[in-house]
Amino acid sequence: MSTLAIVNVPVATLWTSPEKARDIDAAALTNPQTLNKWLEQLPKPERLDLCDNNRIQSQVLYGEYVLIDEQQDGWAKVCVVHQKSKKDERGYPGYIPTAQLQEATVQTSERYVIVTAPRAQLWQHGKPTIVVSFNTMLPYIVEDDKHFTVETPHGTQQILKAQATVTASNAVGNPGTMAQAVQHGLAFLDLPYLWGGMSSYGYDCSGFTYQMARSVGILMSRDADEQATEGKEVNHLDRSTWQVGDVIFFSDEPGVKPVRHVGFYFGDGQILHSHSTGLPVEILPLEGSKLDNEVCAVRRF
């Protein structure tokens, strides 16, 4: 029987297996968490190794739910319930340190607070507690002139209204458009790519499209190959039909090899994407780039 748990650190990394975590990853496995310390000490070879050796699957934000299937030696085998995946119909599977989870019951609320700043400070009894990522969603309790009061894994806390807004659901944000998602993505220009990344500490390509879409109320699958089957098909060969916010997919050999990359159409022949290890979120003119001849699908949400 699976049990429900809630993430109690700013960003919990979903590992492929406990054995995939290295000594250099220790700062990402703790609670309290020192995520910046982990990322600062990861030179490019170690960052590439996260992908090349299939170490990380995804990430989960503070206050989000997972189903725990089993626990052993400080690790929990989980499914992330809001991240759709063909790997498990219940949600994206992987492993999270048990120290970064706590038992939970399903909370229902008519209103939720969603973080709109790249990162936001939480406060408790007037003192700063933890800093959370863009798109973190927490149950709304009440508000005053300056703050929203929210329910968190650490009890009632406050967040500045300047860093958040209210939404009607904990699954998706206020209904919006993918053109608005693109505008949200501009806040992360020059943010270094992180394989498996799903937070404002670093996104991978499909984590970027997933979180920007979710910020406007559109819930996609977690991985690019599955995102490429969703939404409405757009003629990928006729670029005059593309619209700002369309999701563009790339393959090493279109029609032959699988989807390997994804980004947003920014307009004027350009894409907004989280590029690859060693490169940042950027706006890239397609013409003349390596990706120019690799477009394999375009979907509209």
Catalytic residues: 205, 261, 273
Give the Å distances, CA to CA, from 229 to 220, 232, 246. Answer: 10, 9, 13
Please state, in angstroms and rounded to a whole number, the distance separating the CA atoms of residues 172 and 165.
13
> Is the backbone of residue 198 left (phi > 0), alpha (psi -120 to 50) or beta?
alpha
Strands 295-300 and 232-234: antiparallel
Which residue in the block uniquely carries the two structure tokens 């170490």?
55
Task: Give me 62's structure tokens.
Answer: 């503070």
b vs e for 13-31, b when ≥16 Cβ sit within 10 Å of the residue's Cβ?
bbbbebebbeeebebbbee
Q: Is the separation of the CB atoms in 119 and 256 below 8 Å?
A: no
Nearest to 61 by CA among 160, 159, 200: 200
Kindly report the backbone phi and psi dihedral angles of residue 220, in degrees, each rounded to the nearest multiple of 5, phi listed first. Answer: -100, 170
